[in-house]
Amino acid sequence: MVVIAVDGPSGSGKSSVSKGVARRLGLAYLDTGAMYRAATLWAMDAVGDLADAERVAAAVRGMPLEMGLDPDAPAVRLDGRDVSAAIRTTEVSTEVSKVATNLDVRAELRRRQREIIDVAAQAAGIVAEGRDITTVVAPDADARVLLTASEEARLRRRSLEVHGAADAAAVEATRDQVVRRDRDDATVSQFQVAADGVVTVDSSDLDLEETIEAVLAVVAQVTAAR
């Protein structure tokens, strides 16, 4: 039974690397960022005005969310409907910071995240990734990793993911999503500098497999020392 927490900025590879680590170790996988995206989609439909913090928080507290924990198929369901694709649209990406910086929403989703992690920890274990996982949600995780990369590398990766290209125009079109969201989220969450006991892995010059191996090495080292 092991809990691995992976934190880091947008485009650092948290999701791909965390899923890879979970597969290799036979663990569950939790994408907490997807929970904020789901909350955004839910609030857009239920409230409309995301600036109405109280109504948004109330809507999220009643949100019927189910998180799939299979790293090969981490489906996200709202009220029984698969919204895995819907939460990745540009519309949601543009609005998610408005919900993610709502402190009452963060409190509710952190509560749900801790519940999921606690249940999974009683089985084989879990890899949980997203903002403030290493410091607030799972500060007692067996292994805590801050996965980072240069801004150039992060923009290139997110551009390839969203636009299928990494030329100058595609990178510039992606800049607002990556840089602005990190700036906004940094007002309510610490994910750019490793806290005490958190190991930094810089993936700027690593491919996916090399980054997975680097995180696995951290997990092996930390768990062996316990």
Binding site, annotated residues for ATP: 8-16
d(CA 78, CA 67): 9
Query: What is each CA distance from 158 to 22, 105, 155, 167, 189, in whole angstroms?
Result: 22, 26, 5, 12, 21
- The conformation of residue 204, written as its DSSP 8-state character, comes to T
Copy the structure tokens of residue 153: 């590398």
What does the DSSP assignment read for 8-55? --TTS-HHHHHHHHHHHHT-EEEEHHHHHHHHHHHHHHHTS-TT-HHH
Give binding residues as ranges: 8-16
User: In Å, how far from its chain's centre is CA 63?
Assistant: 19
